[in-house]
Amino acid sequence: MILTSIIAGSSAPTQDRAHETSFSPSDGAELFTFAHASMSDVDDAVAAARRGMQMPQWSDITPDRRGELLWRVSTLIEEHAEELAMMDTHDAGMPMGMSKGVNAPLAAQVFRYYAGFATKIEGRLSQVSIPNTLHYTTREPIGVCALITPWNVPLAIAAWKLAPALATGNAVILKPAEQAPWSTWRLVQLCHEAGIPGEVVQVLFGGPEVGQALVRHRGVDKVSFTGSTEVGCQIVADAAPTLKRVSLELGGKAPSIVTASADMEQAVLGNLRGALFNSGQACGAYTRTFVQRSRADEFASRIAEAAKVMRVGVAADESTELGPLITRGQVERVLAYIEGAQAEGAELVHGGRQLRDGGLDHGHFLEPTVFTNVQDHMRIAQEEVFGPVISILPFDDMDEAVARANASDYGLAAVVWTKDLVLAHTMAKRLRAGTVFINLLPLIDPGAPWGGFGLSGWGREMGAFAIDEFTEPKGVFVGLEA
């Protein structure tokens, strides 16, 4: 099977294009081949998107009808949920439980949420002091938006950019990650099936060069990017000459603070899942677990026991709790962090090895790994590992915990485990993170803003924040003098 970019509703040509084969992270099986977009494909897609913005069936559409189209997409996602979940499970190695239980349902839910928003994008009457003058504001679509996404949660992340971009009347070009483009390609087809014009939703395959061509293109008005901080910084530089609007959802190094007053059972399970869901390949993963010293040994031994019995397996097996990493290179990268942590003096409590037995020999599997006595300066406590590694850092008092948790260039998410209500809210205020969870896993909801401080990015997705991110305010003065 050869997948191609979809430009103006049609498959792009494949001859003279670079071809790439996608392999399953679970067993190395060949899945499909896809053709990278050429630079002329990028130009064609941008030209088509600009036409899309002018097409009466899109530019003159009523908000009610636009909402109806988005609702239809949500229904189609639900009807094809198994198929879409299977695509990310095979392509990205996402365990089926997460694909079916979170990824596909969240994509449908986000479309439903923004279907409702399409009829509620309002301006306001401004209090100007110029006599006999009326002033009001509207929110206008920005124009052509490039939506560039990572491989870790392909479908849901594409949906949470696409739905608000369409609700606000933009034309979009999706550029999924080259490691896992399958479900995005299918999502674009479902948008067309719902009745959204081919010029308004397109997808281009390819790697950094295709993303960069979109970012630099004069015909693109806005870039919404989710991915690494390094690439985010490059995008800012590349977008500067054209002053494109840019929103960035980047990396994270979420602190998890387990206080002495925590429900230990809840904290152990919450940290296990919060750190290791999607094999630890998640921006919001709990990667620095600060545990109050009086309970640190108990916590370390309980979480190590729980890690030992986790079911590691191929992503398509519904009973799998920990699936594969995306590539062999990612396994090597995480192993280097594990070796580095040991060399720096962290204490390995469980795991640390690549798994090859029991049918896992052709995939990219690592044992769930638990370190204790991790120090703040260690690389494992500073950098994004993006693998199944839990780092425990003992602390003594809450001021110290806050200072150490906040001592990171990232600021995406943080979590506090406590039964003390006052402490919970005090900590929520003091932690420097776009989202603070109390006694919870890192959840995402269309109604709750998602994004971060510092190197975690610019702007917020979800909720009304995403409507602002995909619109420009316009002011209108009206002279009322007869």
Question: Of the candidates 252, 351, 352, 394, which one interacts with ligand NAD according to CB under 6 A?
Answer: 252
Question: Is position 256 an interface residue for ligand NAD (rule: CB under 6 A)?
Answer: no
Cα 138 to Cα 93, 208, 245, 391, 477: the distances in Å are 43, 35, 18, 48, 12
Question: Is position 78 an interface residue for ligand NAD (rule: CB under 6 A)?
Answer: no
Q: Is the dihedral of CA 371, 375, 380, 383 positive or negative?
A: positive
Q: Are 324 and 365 in contact (CB under 8 A)?
A: yes
Question: Is position 228 an interface residue for ligand NAD (rule: CB under 6 A)?
Answer: yes
- Side chain identity, residue 397: D
Q: Is the dihedral of CA 466, 82, 100, 182 positive or negative?
A: negative
Nearest distance, CB of residue 64 and ligand NAD, angstroms? 31
Coil vs helix vs strand at 210: helix
Question: Is position 345 an interface residue for ligand NAD (rule: CB under 6 A)?
Answer: no
What span, in angstroms and rounded, lies between the C-alpha atoms of 207 and 212? 9
Residues in 20-49 that interact with ligand NAD by CB under 6 A: none
Question: Is position 330 an interface residue for ligand NAD (rule: CB under 6 A)?
Answer: no
Known catalytic residue: 145?
no
* 14 alpha carbon, distance to own chain's centre: 29
* Segment lying near ligand NAD (by CB under 6 A), choices 76-84, 249-257, 414-422, 464-472: 249-257
Question: Is position 249 an interface residue for ligand NAD (rule: CB under 6 A)?
Answer: yes
**Which DSSP letter does residue 322 get?**
B
Residue with Cβ nearer ligand NAD (99 or 212): 212
Residue with Cβ nearer ligand NAD (7 or 401): 7
* Burial class for 340, CB neighbours closer than 10 Å (0-12, 13-18, 19+): middle
Question: Is position 251 an interface residue for ligand NAD (rule: CB under 6 A)?
Answer: yes
* Segment lying near ligand NAD (by CB under 6 A), choices 21-29, 112-120, 244-252, 255-263: 244-252
Question: Is position 414 an interface residue for ligand NAD (rule: CB under 6 A)?
Answer: no
Instruction: Single out the catalytic residue among 283, 384, 461, 469.
Output: 283
Number of residues that bind ligand NAD (CB under 6 A): 29
Residue with Cβ nearer ligand NAD (151 or 417): 151
Binding flags for ligand NAD, 352-391, as an x/- string (CB under 6 A): --------------------------------x-------
Residues in 173-192 that interact with ligand NAD by CB under 6 A: 175, 177-178
Known catalytic residue: 249?
yes
Question: Is position 215 an interface residue for ligand NAD (rule: CB under 6 A)?
Answer: yes
Instruction: Single out the catalytic residue among 249, 321, 367, 461.
Output: 249
Question: Of the candidates 52, 143, 211, 280, which one interacts with ligand NAD according to CB under 6 A?
Answer: 211
* Segment lying near ligand NAD (by CB under 6 A), choices 19-27, 171-179, 338-346, 401-409: 171-179
Residue whose C-beta lies closest to ligand NAD: 211
Residue with Cβ nearer ligand NAD (61 or 436): 436
Question: Is position 161 an interface residue for ligand NAD (rule: CB under 6 A)?
Answer: no
| Nearest CA-CA partner of 388 in 352, 359, 362, 430 | 352
Task: Tell me, letter by letter, the H, E, C secondary structure of 246-306.
Answer: EEEECCCCEEEEECCCCCHHHHHHHHHHHHHHHHHCCCCCEEEEEEEHHHHHHHHHHHHHH
Question: Is position 412 an interface residue for ligand NAD (rule: CB under 6 A)?
Answer: yes
What span, in angstroms and rounded, lies between the C-alpha atoms of 174 and 187? 10
* Burial class for 438, CB neighbours closer than 10 Å (0-12, 13-18, 19+): middle
What span, in angstroms and rounded, lies between the C-alpha atoms of 214 and 37? 11
Coil vs helix vs strand at 356: coil
Q: Is 457 left (phi over 0), alpha (psi -120 to 50) or beta?
A: left
Q: Are 48 and 199 in contact (CB under 8 A)?
A: yes
Residues in 423-462 that interact with ligand NAD by CB under 6 A: 450
Question: Is position 283 an interface residue for ligand NAD (rule: CB under 6 A)?
Answer: yes
What span, in angstroms and rounded, lies between the C-alpha atoms of 234 and 217? 14
Question: Is position 150 an interface residue for ligand NAD (rule: CB under 6 A)?
Answer: yes
Residue with Cβ nearer ligand NAD (177 or 272): 177
Residue with Cβ nearer ligand NAD (143 or 211): 211
What span, in angstroms and rounded, lies between the C-alpha atoms of 149 and 167? 19
| Nearest CA-CA partner of 290 in 387, 373, 386, 408 | 373
Nearest distance, CB of residue 179 and ligand NAD, angstroms? 7
Residue with Cβ nearer ligand NAD (141 or 251): 251
Q: What angle do CA 158, 163, 169 make, to 5 degrees?
A: 125
Residue 216 tokens read as 């630099």
Residue with Cβ nearer ligand NAD (190 or 413): 413
Question: Is position 304 an interface residue for ligand NAD (rule: CB under 6 A)?
Answer: no
Question: Of the candidates 42, 86, 94, 148, which one interacts with ligand NAD according to CB under 6 A?
Answer: 148
Positions marked active-site: 249, 283
By CB under 6 A, name the binding residues for ligand NAD: 148-153, 157, 175, 177-178, 207-208, 211-212, 215, 226-228, 231, 234-235, 249-252, 283, 384, 412, 450
